[in-house]
Each structure stands twice: as structure tokens, then as C-alpha cells.
Chain A
Amino acid sequence: MYGNDFSAPEDAPGGGLLGEVAAAEAALRAAATRQRGGGPGPDADLEAYFADVIDADQKIEPRDWMPEAYRKTLIRQIAQHAHSEIIGMQPEGNWISRAPSLKRKAILLAKVQDEAGHGLYLYAAAETLGVSRDELVQLLLDGRQKYSSIFNYPTLSWADVGVIGWLVDGAAIVNQVPLCRCSYGPYARAMIRVCKEESFHQRQGYEILHTLAHGTLEQKAMAQDAVDRWWYPSLAMFGPPDGDSTHSARSMAWKIKRFSNDELRQRFVDMCVQQAEILGLTLPDPDLRWNEQCQAYDFTEPDYAELMRVISGEGPCNRQRMEHRRRAHAEGAWVRVAAAAYAAKRSTAREAVAA
């Protein structure tokens, strides 16, 4: 398992994505008990010690020395990831009040609550790097830090909730499973928790689509329409092509990132084709076909100019998402103040009793 992030399904306990997460968790434990090759001690040469820990596939922990750029890269990446979880609650939250049954409503509520939880795990991981959650939230509200471009697309029908689970969460998992092996301990541990929960999200989405695709003609058409709208934005979630990706090479060397954008995108396409066949839905790409030589599917790349426009604020819902987040934050201010006042009053009362 060690040194091979994507183990063959038959090797993985439980198989599939959950198996890969379990394998990453086992590798984390194994690396922790492995002796390093007698490299420098933590007092000898900080930089060499850092490199030695990374080479041995062990984890860097919060109080370890780390290059300033490593710290900055992680803060940027983890914060952006946390913001995405929080903003990502909106497109699905849009359907909680209109879910087609009580069961679907309860499931969707639980899923959106999970997204909030993922945001909190990630903010906590970022805080171990010496930045406060308040600062990060403010950077999001000021538009100085980004979130995933995918959440700037609207959820027009109930089928979109299914497609978000299947394609959007599916793409997120393909991106995130390798992060379970990231070199920074708190991030890797948070990602293991997140990935375990995401696999429920992906399955619930797939089930929604399967039900619709095997329902009435109108329901099937609704499912197909949602797949047509979300397919290319989902492919764009893996970021620009490798040649244009600005942070990749150094993040790979530091083992923050394990696979390139294009490798992950290819892996996602290869996974989805068979899943779409079982749904009886069509992926909207006439050039999608098996390439015997590459042992992978040829596919049409997403429109990266559109990706750049959405990232820079010109997507269909950017303004709406940010307005909503700013309003929710402002309208929640009294709750934070009241809770702090109550805590202060109680601690004063305790001091009075003690005196």
C-alpha cells in the first residue's frame, strides 16, 4: 500500500473510495512507527530535519519548524477548502424546504450539516498553522480568499441535488482522497474524516439520480438536464491543465499534493462513464470514447476560459453566494455577542462565589 496512493480496488479493505481512505489511514499509522534513515535530529539542522520527515512520508506537526512558504501554501489551500465547504451549503440548502419527501429532507439536512462540519474541521486544521478562524472568515467576506468555482452555479431542479452528490462530491473525493496522505498531519487527519463522510454524500446523490432516471419520462429528462449542466463545471473543479497550474510543482515536492490536476481529472472521467451507463444517462460529450492504447477515456476538456471567469467573480451566482454569506454572518452577530456575554457573566459569578 505504501507509496501507492491509488491502490487497486481488490487490495483495498472494503474496496472503492472508502477502501482508499482506510488505506491512507493505515499508511499514516505505519509511517508514524517507521524509523527514519538516521537523518539529522530536530536540533541539528531544521531544514534537513524537515526534508527528512517529508522523505520518510511522515507527518509535519504544528510545532515543527517548516519553511514559511510551506506554511503559507497550506494556509491558503486549507482556508480555500474550508470556505468551499461553507459556501457549498448554499446550493443544496436551496432545496431543503422543497425536498420531495420527508426522508429526502432529513437526508439533505444531515448532508448540509456535514458540510458545515467539514468547514469547521478544516478551519481548525488551518488554525494550527498560526492563523485565527476570525481572520480567515474575514478574508472570505472581503473577497480576498476564494472558494471552489463550482458553487457559483445555480441548482435549478431537484435533480441538481442528486448531481451535486454524484458529480460534484465525486470530483471532490477524487481530489481529496490523495490529501488524506498530505504531509501536514492536521490536514491529513481532517481529510480522513471528511472523506469518510463524503462517500455517504456521493451515494445519496447517486441514489436520487437512479430513482429519477428510472421514474417517469419527465423525471428522467430532469436528471439528464442536470447532468448536462453540471458535467463540464465538475471537470473544471480539478483546476487548470497542468501546464497552466501555478502552484503544482512545489506542492508535489512537499507532498501536499500527490497527483497533477490532469491525472485526477482523467481518473474522475474514467470512474463516471460506467456509473452513467448504469444510471441510463448520457454524459454530454460526443467525443467521449475508450482509448485502447492509453487504457483510459478520451474526453473533451472543460472550457477553462469559463473557469477563469467564474473564479474571478463572473459566474452565474458569485454575487448571490457572497451576499448571502455576508448577510448570514452579520445577522448572526448578536448570537455570538450574547453567548460571549453569558459566558462572561457566568465566569464572574463563579469568581464571586470563590471569593
Chain B
Amino acid sequence: MSGTDSTSPLWEVFVRARRGLAHTHVGSLHAPDAELALRNARDLYTRRQEGVSIWVVPAAAITASSPDEKDAFFDPAADKVYRHPTFYDVPDGVAHL
């Protein structure tokens, strides 16, 4: 994710494939501004009707949790199995639970 291109910064592209689906990251591209980034994204990632909506985000504006920090960063979720419904014993014969 090095956006070092001299005149054209790097943009990350997200496409909503159909109504009802979330925007999904599809790739990246270079463009001098947001308007051209959108046009380039349309030409590059939706030539075959892959989407009904596009977001472009400057790659430099994304703050990422690095996989290197994976253990520490996601630790708070590791010891809270009671957040999952499968943690609980359901007595036999109970319906609609």
C-alpha cells in the first residue's frame, strides 16, 4: 500500500455488487483526484456489470490493524465465549429459543 506514485495517489476501491449487499473491497488504482478515481474504478472494476455502486477511498486515509499485532489486538474477544449463543446449555424440550 505504498502510494508513492508521483502525480497519482493510490485509491482503494469498494463495490456494491447488488442491492442488499455491502460494499466489498475489490482492489486499488491510481488517480489524481476522487472524480477520476471513480471513473477509473468504473472502467477497471465494473466492465461486466459487477456493481451498482462504487466507493473510492484514498489508501493513505485508511488506518489498519496490522496482522503482526493480531494476538494482542484481538485478545479481548478471545476469552468471551459467552458472547456466542453456543455457550449456553438449552434444556431438552425448550422450543423457540
Where the two chains meet, the residues of A that have a C-beta atom closer than 8 Å to any C-beta of B are 41-43, 61-65, 110, 113-114, 117, 120-121, 124, 127-128, 130-134, 189-190, 193, 197, 336-337, 339-340, 342-343, 346-347
Contact = CB atoms under 8 A, between A and B. Distances in A.
A43 B70 CA distance: 8
B5 A133 contact: yes
Contacts of A41: 70-71
A61 B67 contact: yes
A42 B68 contact: yes
Given A121-B27, A342-B33, A343-B33, A336 B64 contact: no
B29 A120 contact: yes
B67 A64 contact: yes
A130 B33 contact: no
B1 interface: yes
A64 B67 CA distance: 6
Contacts of B30: 133
- Top 10 A-B pairs ranked by shortest CB distance? A343-B33, A340-B7, A343-B32, A339-B32, A132-B4, A124-B28, A63-B66, A340-B32, A42-B70, A336-B7
Nearest to A333: B7
A134 B6 contact: yes
Contacts, number: 72
A339 to B, nearest CB: 4
A131 B70 CA distance: 25
Interface in B59-80: 64, 66-68, 70-72
A42 B36 contact: no
Interface residues of B, number: 27
A204 to B, nearest CB: 14
Interface in B20-46: 27-33, 36, 43-44
B8 A340 contact: yes
A153 to B, nearest CB: 27
B7 A62 contact: no
Given A62-B1, A113-B47, 10 more contacts: A114-B47, A124-B27, A127-B2, A132-B2, A132-B5, A133-B5, A134-B4, A336-B32, A339-B32, A339-B36
B56 interface: no
A347 B35 CA distance: 12
B60 to A, nearest CB: 13
Contact of B67 (A42, A131, A339): A42
Given A42-B70, A63-B68, A130-B2, A124 B29 contact: yes
B7 A117 contact: no
Contacts of A193: 27
Which residue, A62, A120, A189, has most C-beta atoms of chain B within 10 A?
A120
Given A127-B28, A342-B32, A343-B33, A63 B64 contact: yes
B28 to A, nearest CB: 5
B7 A337 contact: yes
A117 B40 CA distance: 10
Contacts of B68: 42-43, 63-65
B52 to A, nearest CB: 18
Contacts of B10: 127
A179 B42 CA distance: 26
Contacts of B66: 63
B71 A339 contact: no
B67 A63 contact: yes
Interface string B77-91: 000000000000000
Contacts of B6: 134
B27 to A, nearest CB: 5
A121 B64 CA distance: 22
Contact of B1 (A43, A64, A128): A128
